[in-house]
């Protein structure tokens, strides 16, 4: 299950996940009651297949496909799993994150590098970054609220919330 995928009770150290959010794949889906071969292009979203789907690894057959939903440098992230309802409503697709609230340019204009760093430090988050520009562009204030987005997907039944993660360190470069 999910606990094994995340390294048991010892934390996230056994494996990691890499979730594509701009990819095209040929998949089989039901359309108007008939199975069809489709080219699925997921842009700004990610695949989330339900339990017992033949295309997900055997380790996830009971839980559904795990999906990492990244928050920001200063907010939580989530692990979701795919649902059968999601297969019918969205061809097995869910969000991949919250999305930007401000453009990169607007973030650079409106946010102060040192203030962003201090806010992260106050939350106990260590940061290593290649450039001050990246800190402002990727600041928590630059993004929509990931919890709201995840709750919407969960409420719609297109994916299930499984685990909430808290950042302890950020490396940007």
Catalytic residues: 96
Element (H, E) at 77: strand 77-82
Residue from 147, 27, 39, 2 nearest 87 by CA: 27
Q: Sign of the CA dihedral 15, 20, 23, 24?
A: positive
SS3 content of the chain, % helix, strand, coil (to 5): 30, 30, 35
Measured CA angle at 98 (ends 95, 11), to 5 deg: 80
81 within 8 A of 92, measured Cβ to Cβ: no
Q: What is the DSSP letter of 110?
A: H
How many Cα atoms within 13 Å fall on the side-chain side of residue 9?
A: 0
């Amino acid at each position: 299950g999910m606990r094994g995928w995340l390294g048991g009770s010892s934390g996230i150290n056994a494996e990691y996940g890499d979730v594509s959010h701009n990819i095209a794949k040929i998949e089989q889906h039901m359309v108007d009651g008939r199975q069809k071969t489709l080219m699925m292009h997921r842009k700004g979203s990610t695949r989330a297949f339900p339990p017992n789907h033949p295309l997900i690894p055997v380790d996830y057959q009971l839980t559904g496909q795990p999906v990492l939903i990244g928050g920001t440098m200063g907010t939580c992230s989530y692990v979701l799993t795919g649902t059968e309802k999601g297969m019918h409503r969205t061809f097995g697709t869910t969000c991949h994150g919250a999305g930007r609230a401000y453009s990169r340019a607007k973030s650079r204009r409106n946010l102060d590098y040192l203030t962003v760093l201090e806010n992260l430090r106050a939350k106990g988050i260590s940061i290593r970054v290649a450039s001050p520009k990246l800190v402002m562009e990727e600041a928590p204030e630059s993004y929509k609220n990931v919890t709201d987005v995840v709750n919407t997907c969960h409420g719609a039944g297109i994916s299930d919330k499984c685990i909430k993660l808290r950042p302890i360190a950020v490396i940007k470069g």
